[in-house]
Structure 1
């Protein structure tokens, strides 16, 4: 069986624009604003996070190591993924117009607590995974009852992500 192995890299170390947007909500980025009070520091996005009304979701992702056989994509919405208190891995592939994700396009990134990514429409992705343990994370996207986002096999697959 063919298995492509992909090393995880920090999301902050790459230009994420081909996939979407990256925010560092702990330290701020050029697309955020910071307010400091006597007992708090607030970091917020300057622009709306996604370009439509969004639903909030909460997911428990399994721990690494993990093999990814399938991915999904959303052609009708962007999707924001929020790293909370434990680091998480996101496995994604550029949506190059193919009807399935290509193993050669798959990349894996680690997000640290306070980091957020917003995936462009059409970017293939797996559920996020935890480092050494399962991980909870929030996501935001527009859910529509008339749209079913199916999980599609990676070609050729699977892809194994490692740290």
Structure 2
């Protein structure tokens, strides 16, 4: 398979994800966007600023497992959306925010979000529902709800296989 047939997820780092939003690492104790505290037998971290603008709603989605065919995406022009793991890594497929009526498959990238990370997509970023890295996996999301419809739109150019690693390309 060639690139236009599939995309392989890379780790969600601040640098890799920058054109889609922000990554917070609450697991390592070194992210400068996180306030760290220590206590007797515990360590705590919280984001320096609110995770999203406004009073967000908390949701839980139960996703299948990678690989999958990304056939449609949604976007939220009125709110950021934060994604964070419930118990295991998930894969997020995204395409850049645009004025176009649909995302294009050649612009889709995929990222592995690990426990302890929070990924905040900018307003208008196209995205699919996350899938588990190795198994069906639930994940939490936070966004402002009730701002209008966020229809799922077919990906222009057709479906794209989203893989957690290069081995899945040959098995799919």
Q: Which category describes the TM-score, using the shorter chain as reference length?
A: over 0.9
Q: Which residue of 1 aligns with 2:134?
A: 132
Tell me if the contact between 1:36 and 1:42 (Cα under 8 Å) persists in the aligned partners: yes
Q: Which residue of 2 aligns with 1:64?
A: 66
Q: Which residue of 1 aligns with 2:95?
A: 93
1:80 to 71, 82, 87: 82
What's the offset of the Cα at 1:13? 7.0
Q: Which residue of 2 aligns with 1:17?
A: 18
What's the offset of the Cα at 1:95? 1.2
Q: Distance in 1 between matches of 2:55 and 2:95?
A: 25
Tell me if the contact between 1:63 and 1:135 (Cα under 8 Å) persists in the aligned partners: yes
1:120 to 95, 119, 122: 122
- Deviations for 1:51-109, whole angstroms, at most 9, x for unmatched residues? 11100001101111210100000011000001232111000000122110011110000
What's the offset of the Cα at 1:16? 2.0
1:26-45 equivalences under 5 Å are 26-28=27-29, 29-45=31-47
When normalised by structure 1's length, the TM-score is: 0.94
Segments of structure 2 that go 5 or more residues without pairing to the other structure are 166-172
Segments of structure 1 that go 5 or more residues without pairing to the other structure are none
* Range that drifts further, 12-21 or 120-129: 12-21
Structure 1 stretches of 4+ moved >3 Å: none
* Range that drifts further, 27-36 or 122-131: 27-36
Tell me if the contact between 1:84 and 1:114 (Cα under 8 Å) persists in the aligned partners: no
When normalised by structure 2's length, the TM-score is: 0.89
What secondary structure sits across from 2:83 in the alignment?
A: strand
Tell me if the contact between 1:86 and 1:113 (Cα under 8 Å) persists in the aligned partners: yes
Q: Distance in 2 between matches of 1:50 and 1:25?
A: 16
**Across the two proteins, how many residue pairs are aligned to each other?**
160
